[in-house]
Structure 1
């Protein structure tokens, strides 16, 4: 499934909204953006699309599975697909000198202060180790970007290695790639295996082409070729991130763009910060990680990152409990799998974890506060949590499962089935 192929599929199914009215990239697009897939045909005289993966249903369609089979598909798919190097790519149709101001890069909120690339996949490689991941990128010039590199994540580590030797880190920023590859790259996999995971999820080889600086990229609408400067730092932020609140200003590395490659009439892909597509791409990739970790200690049935928890801070884990020690083990396993998680609730398999009311019912009827709530103070969480101090905060795990020794007290009443007369 190509990027344009998926857009055409959404159009043919009546799921794509098109807005032809001329719009400014400064505030106007984000002001009217909803949750549905939308193609804007005239933003700074360019095409721009948002929300192609803005729901579980759309993600399931891209993956080719039913929505209730997403976790099963993701958790059982190893990162071992084939990556195929090809010479040509649609992204090579136009090659030109860098001018980021010609792209429809959006300024989303009044407090942002600058345009940000939000769906750009940064591909880097150093000493034979490759990484691909999404980073927010602040435009600071026609050929310069400030990159938010989260400490001790893969791109940060590669940049640090190169900088220690006084060398730039070669990179490419890829915008407008097929939805399965975009989702795969958003997932935590072993270092250097993002492309292999994408190919495995798609069930076919992933084609990549090698740029002049040695970076290999998948087919895309737009590719920005360049490098991260070894020492130069600038202010990055403020920026509205996953919680819908402003992240702080930090000194961050500078990316220099040396050339831009793109398709003729390219379609720029943007994520609305804290919007539905941002939530799906940042949150759901943690679900299979949690599922596989909890599977080691309990009979796990399903995992979701909850909407009310910004798809990032809260998880609900459904297990089939066979002894009363399993929920605490499941809580610890969940926090181990997603270190930025803040709160997790463990429920029985009679609870519908997709229904917030059912989860609250489990809390109301199966939780005894002094026995079933586990508090972990002064631990590392996420800097995106407004309540944290430099990423240090408190985590809470809730065991909302039935006491097996008194199971009869907790089982839900079933309505009798009355046989209808013929």
Structure 2
């Protein structure tokens, strides 16, 4: 696997890694200093912190080893089943000690944050032979305690609830500073327990896993925190800035007790800036192949993008080739909403529209949309609690057919400059 350190060396050799050696506090100063480029802070309370390693599509393409314009095709055709390899040792075991979160440069990102938050920690859990790996925001409440936001009815929530119903704690391990491809893989919706298999398939080589003291198997990392989610104990979680750049609410959420901590010598702590580019890429791009493959069932789909202006989460642009049926666009709208249930608005465009160019998308709306015929409204449906306009996750979805009328195609075709 490429590994975090090797990827950083690649970025450094290509001249795209910014390094800041000025001493900074983890409280506000790092978040105030970071820009959009990959950045390594070498002295955050004496520790190293890296941000934005997957902060753009270009960086994701580098990690995946594919051209920028082929990401969707690579992801939509990649199998979810790759081989994983169990190994007996790991560089993460270089130092093993009692858990003490004050030793880590956990960031407080914004004024109003409810706590310092671990934002790039992958929580690996297992119960009754069922494994899950996913990113959760983790608020620090003590040297060996965290409060985790577990979204209702997703895998970690379900495993914790099942363990709690049996009066048992859920064993977990939190890995920080992992291979960027594994980080992307665990952000993707794949069959239950196949996150590391998917990472192996993406890389074309096995992901190595090693076993923690509590039996949880995890990939190599800069930092590993072991512990368990208490069956009944809860604490206030939040406020926290989420994908929209607005504050999510305070909730009672499960408490994690840590029992062991191991890390590399001079570890590199990875942090995601809430509502930053890396947050958007990891939350949004994994839905694009799901949309692509669902739309492919009803239309000749060419490309999909979750737009940056839509927080890489709420807005999608889908490019199709219409051949004989004007109704393909409506079918594509409904397939898109079926694939990404938190989506709020989708626009369907023709293949001559550049879906990465907001001006081109606006041009399609301006010239190819008739409001009373081409806009589809779906009120009072399940969306996302992260949408500030929703009420407990219930809102309205809108689909826009911005494709050409096939019977009058000549009216919509764009002029081309003559060649001299």
Q: Quickly name the TM-score band, shorter chain normalised.
A: over 0.9
Which whole-Å deviations, capped at 9, do the CAs of 1:41-71 have from their partners, x for residues lacking one? 1111111000111111111011000000000
Within the candidate set 367, 370, 374, 1:368 is matched to 370
Secondary structure of 2:189's counterpart equals coil
Are the counterparts in 1 of residues 114 and 237 from structure 2 also a CA contact under 8 Å? no
Q: Distance in 1 between matches of 2:416 and 2:16?
A: 38
Are the counterparts in 1 of residues 175 and 221 from structure 2 also a CA contact under 8 Å? yes
Q: How does 1:311-350 map to 2 (within 5 A)?
A: 311-322=312-323, 323-350=325-352
Aligned to 1:414: 416
Correspondence 1:153 to 2:154: yes
Are the counterparts in 1 of residues 177 and 270 from structure 2 also a CA contact under 8 Å? yes
Q: Distance in 2 between matches of 1:320 and 1:363?
A: 17
User: What TM-score, normalized by structure 2, do the two folds share?
Assistant: 0.99
Which whole-Å deviations, capped at 9, do the CAs of 1:249-296 have from their partners, x for residues lacking one? 001000111010100110000000001111111111110010000001
Q: Stretches of 4+ moved more than 4 A in 1?
A: none
Q: How does 1:36-185 map to 2 (within 5 A)?
A: 36-185=37-186
Q: Distance in 2 between matches of 1:187 and 1:113?
A: 27
Q: Distance in 2 between matches of 1:395 and 1:234?
A: 33
Post-superposition offset of 1:416:
1.5
Aligned to 1:222: 223
Q: Distance in 1 between matches of 2:297 and 2:382?
A: 23
Q: Distance in 2 between matches of 1:388 and 1:329?
A: 25
Post-superposition offset of 1:114:
1.2
Which whole-Å deviations, capped at 9, do the CAs of 1:116-159 have from their partners, x for residues lacking one? 00000000011111110000000001101010000111111111
Aligned to 1:387: 389
Post-superposition offset of 1:101:
1.0
Are the counterparts in 2 of residues 146 and 253 from structure 1 also a CA contact under 8 Å? yes
User: What TM-score, normalized by structure 1, do the two folds share?
Assistant: 0.98
Correspondence 1:27 to 2:28: yes
CA RMSD of superposed structures (Å):
0.6
Aligned to 1:403: 405
Post-superposition offset of 1:214:
1.1
Are the counterparts in 2 of residues 6 and 62 from structure 1 also a CA contact under 8 Å? yes
Q: How does 1:245-260 map to 2 (within 5 A)?
A: 245-260=246-261
Secondary structure of 2:407's counterpart equals helix
Aligned to 1:353: 355
Secondary structure of 1:408's counterpart equals helix
Secondary structure of 1:371's counterpart equals helix
Q: How does 1:251-330 map to 2 (within 5 A)?
A: 251-322=252-323, 323-330=325-332
What stretches of structure 2 of length at least 5 have no aligned partner? none
